[in-house]
A and B are shown apart, each in its own frame.
Chain A
Amino acid sequence: MEEQYDAIVVGSGISGGWAAMELCKKGLKTIVLERGRQVEHIKDYPTTNLAPWELLHRNRNTNKIKKDQHIQVRGFCNEANSHFFVNDKEHPYVQKKPYDWIRGYHVGGRSLMWGRQCYRWSDLDFEANARDGHGIDWPIRYKDIAPWYSYVEQFAGISGSKEGLPQLPDGDFLPPMEMNALETHVSESIKQKFTDGRRMIIGRVANLTRGWNGRGPCQYRNLCDRGCPFGGYFSSNSATLPVAASTGNLTLRPHSIVMEVMYDKEKKRAKGVRIIDENTKESIEYFAKIIFLNASTLGSTSILLNSVSDVFPNGMGNSSDQLGRNLMDHHYHVGAGGRYDGLKDKVIHGRRPNGIYVARFRNIDEKTKRSDYLRGFGYQGGASRGMSLNGDGIGSELKEKTTEPGDWSFWLGSWGEQLPHPDNRVTLSKTEKDKWGLPQLEIDCEWKENEIAMRKDMMNSAAEMLESGGIKDIYTFNDEKAYPGLCIHEMGTARMGKDPKTSVLNEWNQLHEVKNVFNTDGACMTSSACQNPSITYMALTARAADFAVNELRKGNL
């Protein structure tokens, strides 16, 4: 039986969902191949309405979770969401250096558990490689992607405030969430005390501050990573896949592990993909005019590396030898915190699934140029006032003290840019295979000098900002064991560029060498900036899908 479609989308996470929706809306019969199980919106969120006491271990990780998901627990995996993270025993990979690969193999992928922070990039980011010579130049600039940022923001629903910061462009936002009393105070202090223009603003987040496109609003439960029964935040499951399905053009096939993209030498085009069924291990071929690879950064690159033929002995579209290189993430687990003496007559109501953001303020112009490192970092964090921190003693005094509000506290964590480096790379293992007979990925990636130098400033500047806001008993942290991957912002390995000799994808996210294969997940990124990357994947996907369908109609694909 020949399985023929107009388009194949590999992966149903944040970018795959967008590819599916855009292609289906434009009338293409589209099949989405997802390697994991089905997760239907609301129906398959088993823990979403559980009270704390309804979780046997009160949301702590059990020894079984720590054993079966020993990599995943280094991230955000807990009792209530562990079913959305992979079993590390079943999905092994080779760590040439420590690398935390945090994954969700199911419909919706990590769009279910993502951090939801959404920040546009600016030309400070798109011009970064060209300016300092690390990596190659991006083939696009802010003006190319700006309308697509608006397009995806208008559908997804991003709440945030307009600030007029050139390095962090404003978007089409829903009303911002509010800062709490201490955040407002510290934000004002920073504005007054620092002359370099740094600003602490409310986080820009894909949680809906009002009803939007039939979803939400957010109920301030802060249980997003379990899936939201209110559709209070953007995910493939709540937003893009239902719209794709409503067109009648979508076929969604779970349990479909894509092994390779098949190449037609005569036409110089891909003709389809070959999958292995996760459960039956049956091999099936699907054919289409265009193929979108959205299997996540390392997933998509694995598939291309495994798509070998006489024409592409080292992986499809890899004549440049750049496929697998320049793996990036953001480095974090560095910053500062402390407590505040005032505002004793104020508390917080509700659990805001969002914090504050400090836009990058280093190396943004001549005035802010650093001699010790290139590029920059931002901050996320926030203030809270919970229960009393003083737990000395025993008995009714302890209980009484603990059930009174304690001091306000403030926490600031920093997210830093990683420079692209060709030696930070992934390859396919020649000896190790997974249970489906596919070669395991070998990951060889580390923080290098620039990141390590930057971290000192990330830590000290956090303390300095907190100090300016009157925060006391400041502590700092810089976790050496926060390995690459842990930030779950893996990027690169199939970078975009103008020149086929030095890049894998062109300015439209097409493989230079196979024009009907597109990649619009993190693999395409040419540099990493320091902002959370998902909104950029969404915008690039919508842009590429629009281009692909136009090319198809013109007969170019």
Chain B
Amino acid sequence: MDRRELLKMVAAATGGAVIGGEFFLTGCKNPEAGKTKEFTADDIAFFDEVAETIFPKTSTPGAKEAKVGQFMTVMINDCYTEENQQAFRDGQEAINAACKKMHGHSFMKASPEERKAVLVSLDPEVKEHRTKKEEFDKIQGDLEKKAQANGDTNFIKKTMPDHYFRMMKQLTILGYFTSKEGRTGATRYEPVPGKYIGDLDYKKGDKVFTNLN
């Protein structure tokens, strides 16, 4: 159940549907993908601030403390397709450009409030992109089916990269709740529960159990 829960969470976080999502994380679009280039310490600091803006320090640790910036770069390099790696990298520039347009300076120079305003402005864009991508994938899927029916073995399905901010948000949520700081600080973490209680009383304010492993 753990993977499903996580999938629902990350899908919902970016306005996605759960349908078909069961197999999303193990999907294998481009097994040949390699590393485009190394991320620098500055890059990691940048992604830390993006993550911190998405999940700031409150009464519980923030995403920066949970080293989500570093986590994002490891995941992008090791687990994402080449085109998504590129989209993610281009996103860094896009965020800076949006920030300059909105506030007159780069994202790293912006205040927390300014950063938040920039990222909030990206949310509708992510939704739009998602709709476009769904249409694109559907058309490609239909073409693939047609090719298969016609016995055309040379057909290769075209893909469309995800929106960079969707990846950043997903990775922030995943990275935060699988980090020591996020898991033990913001949720009730029990490595060895010892028993199962299927109807434990809950009142508002109680910390959530993360049932993901």
Contacts and interface: CB of A to CB of B under 8 A. Distances in A.
Nearest to A229: B192
Contact of A66 (B1, B28, B120, B207): B28
Interface of B: 1-2, 4-5, 8-10, 12-15, 17-20, 22-23, 25-26, 28, 30-34, 53-56, 58, 60, 71, 74-75, 78-81, 116, 119-120, 123, 169, 173-175, 177-180, 183, 186-187, 190-204, 206-213
B147 to A, nearest CB: 15
Given A74-B28, A337-B18, A403-B208, A346 B199 contact: yes
A345 B1 contact: no
B208 A348 contact: no
A179 B198 CA distance: 6
Nearest to B78: A62
Contacts of A184: 198-199
Given A349-B209, A389-B8, A391-B12, A57 B75 contact: yes
B186 A403 contact: yes
A73 B3 CA distance: 14
Interface in A255-276: none
Nearest to B14: A391
Contacts of B210: 386-387
* A interface, over-half SS: loop
Given A57-B75, A64-B78, A386-B5, A220 B60 contact: no
A223 B31 CA distance: 26
Contacts of A386: 5, 8-9, 208-212
Contacts of B183: 51-53
B56 A475 contact: no
A58 interface: yes
Nearest to A78: B26
Given A58-B178, A392-B123, A399-B58, A181 B12 contact: no
A190 B178 CA distance: 37
A477 interface: yes
Interface string A374-407: 0000000010101111111111101110111100
A347 B200 contact: yes
Interface string A41-68: 0000000000111001111111110110
Contacts of B54: 394-395, 398
Given A177-B196, A179-B198, A348 B209 contact: yes
Nearest to B204: A404
A477 B21 CA distance: 10
Given A56-B74, A347-B202, 13 more contacts: A51-B191, A57-B74, A57-B78, A58-B174, A60-B75, A73-B26, A219-B193, A348-B200, A351-B211, A387-B208, A395-B54, A395-B56, A477-B22
B22 A350 contact: no
B208 A400 contact: no
Specify which of A51, A80, A403, A405 lies most central, judged by the most chain B CB atoms within 10 Å of its CB. A403
B5 A387 contact: yes
7 contacts: A180-B198, A181-B198, A350-B195, A391-B169, A393-B120, A399-B60, A411-B1
Contact of B25 (A53, A56, A60, A351): A60
B212 to A, nearest CB: 7
B20 to A, nearest CB: 6
Nearest to B19: A475
Nearest to A338: B18
A221 interface: yes
Interface in A456-471: none
B194 A350 contact: yes
Nearest to B118: A394
A551 interface: no
Contacts of A181: 198-199
B79 A61 contact: yes
B197 A349 contact: yes
Contact of B8 (A352, A394, A409): A409
A384 B175 contact: no
Given A63-B34, A350-B193, A395-B53, A389 B2 contact: no
A178 interface: yes
A289 interface: no
A220 B194 contact: yes
A387 B55 CA distance: 15
A25 B118 CA distance: 71
* 9 smallest beta-carbon distances between A and B, as pairs: A391-B13, A180-B198, A350-B193, A350-B196, A181-B199, A67-B31, A58-B178, A52-B178, A349-B197
Given A62-B78, A399-B55, A403-B208, A221 B26 contact: no
Given A63-B33, A178-B196, A403-B207, A222 B79 contact: no
A64 B190 CA distance: 31
Interface string A434-457: 000000000000000000000000
A299 interface: no
A471 B197 CA distance: 22
Given A52-B178, A347-B200, A61 B25 contact: yes
B201 to A, nearest CB: 6
B71 to A, nearest CB: 8
Nearest to B192: A219
A394 B8 CA distance: 18
A553 B169 CA distance: 68
Contacts of B201: 345-346
A70 B19 contact: no
Contacts of B119: 394
Nearest to A352: B196
A392 B15 contact: yes
Specify which of A63, A78, A350, A388 lies most central, judged by the most chain B CB atoms within 10 Å of its CB. A63
B180 A70 contact: no
Interface string A326-344: 0000000100010000001
A393 B22 contact: no
A137 interface: no
A208 to B, nearest CB: 13
B199 A60 contact: no
A318 B177 CA distance: 55
A351 B2 contact: yes
A60 B25 CA distance: 7
